[in-house]
């Protein structure tokens, strides 16, 4: 029995297999979005380069650092539960949630700023991609935070342990996926020209 468990741990990714199917489906959608952005830019290079300069790169950097830091905190939360340290696991998850909240606040501030300037999906094709791509990701951050809250509550109630922490690993994998997507989105939309 023990041997079977060790084999399954090596051959399968951390967390529930179902969350990985979901993650791969999400990643595929984002990949199509990224390719569509890059090939549409090909037809409107000057327009994309001009309007990219109107974006707030400092805000995007803060958001990048916030997501990377939150992912790191989630890694520490998983490490904590693996040694049965539930209290520390909850603290790391709460710290990750704070970073997620920072991301939402900064991104919302950007959206408010764009809205006040009269920018919307119909403004031009660059803003159409920028707003839809970042808002789609924004919704995934919210979804990831809901999952992190759920696993933090479960961890606080003692539902996870060194032996059984699949839920923590599943939630962590989803959150890392959110981070992973932003790591491509940030240079593609804000920097590459």
What is the binding site for another protein (CB under 8 A)?
10-14, 20, 24, 27-28, 31, 34-35, 38-39, 41-42, 45, 49, 57, 60-61, 64-65, 68-69, 71-72, 74-76, 79, 169, 173, 176-177, 179-180, 183-184, 186-188, 190-193
Instruction: Please give the C-alpha separations between residue 28 and each of 21, 34, 35, 117, in angstroms, as whole numbers.
Output: 11, 10, 11, 33
In whole angstroms, how close is the CB of 192 to another protein at the nearest point?
4
Cβ proximity to another protein, 12 vs 109, nearer residue? 12
Cβ proximity to another protein, 47 vs 150, nearer residue? 47
In whole angstroms, how close is the CB of 186 to another protein at the nearest point?
7
In whole angstroms, how close is the CB of 45 to another protein at the nearest point?
5
- Encode 31-64: b = buried (16+ Cβ within 10 Å), e = exposed: eebbeebeeebeeeeeebeebbeebeeeebebbb
Neighbouring C-alpha atoms within 13 Å toward the C-beta of 52: 17
Cβ proximity to another protein, 71 vs 134, nearer residue? 71
Cβ proximity to another protein, 35 vs 105, nearer residue? 35
Secondary structure of residue 161 in the 3-state scheme: coil
Cβ proximity to another protein, 60 vs 93, nearer residue? 60
In whole angstroms, how close is the CB of 1 to another protein at the nearest point?
20
Classify residue 164 as exposed, middle or buried by CB count within 10 Å of its CB (0-12, 13-18, 19+): exposed
In whole angstroms, how close is the CB of 13 to another protein at the nearest point?
5
Neighbours of 166 (CB within 10 A): 13
How far, rounded to the nearest angstrom, does the alpha carbon of residue 166 sit from its chain's CA centroid?
A: 19
């Amino acid at each position: 029995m023990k041997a079977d468990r060790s084999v399954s741990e090596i051959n399968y990714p951390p967390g529930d297999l179902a969350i990985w199917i979901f993650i791969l489906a999400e990643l595929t959608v984002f990949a199509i979005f990224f390719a569509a952005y890059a090939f549409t830019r090909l037809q409107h290079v000057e327009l994309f380069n001009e309007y990219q300069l109107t974006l707030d790169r400092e805000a995007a950097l803060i958001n990048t650092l916030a997501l990377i830091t939150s992912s790191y905190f989630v890694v520490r939360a998983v490490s904590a539960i693996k040694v049965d340290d539930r209290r520390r696991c909850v603290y790391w998850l709460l710290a990750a949630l704070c970073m997620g909240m920072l991301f939402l606040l900064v991104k919302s501030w950007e959206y408010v700023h764009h809205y006040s300037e009269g920018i919307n999906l119909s403004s031009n094709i660059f803003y159409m991609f920028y707003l839809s791509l970042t808002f789609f990701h924004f919704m995934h951050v919210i979804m990831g935070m809901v999952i992190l809250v759920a696993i933090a509550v479960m961890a606080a109630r003692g539902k996870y342990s060194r032996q059984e922490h699949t839920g923590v690993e599943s939630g962590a994998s989803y959150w890392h996926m959110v981070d992973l997507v932003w790591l491509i989105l940030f240079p593609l939309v804000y920097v590459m020209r």
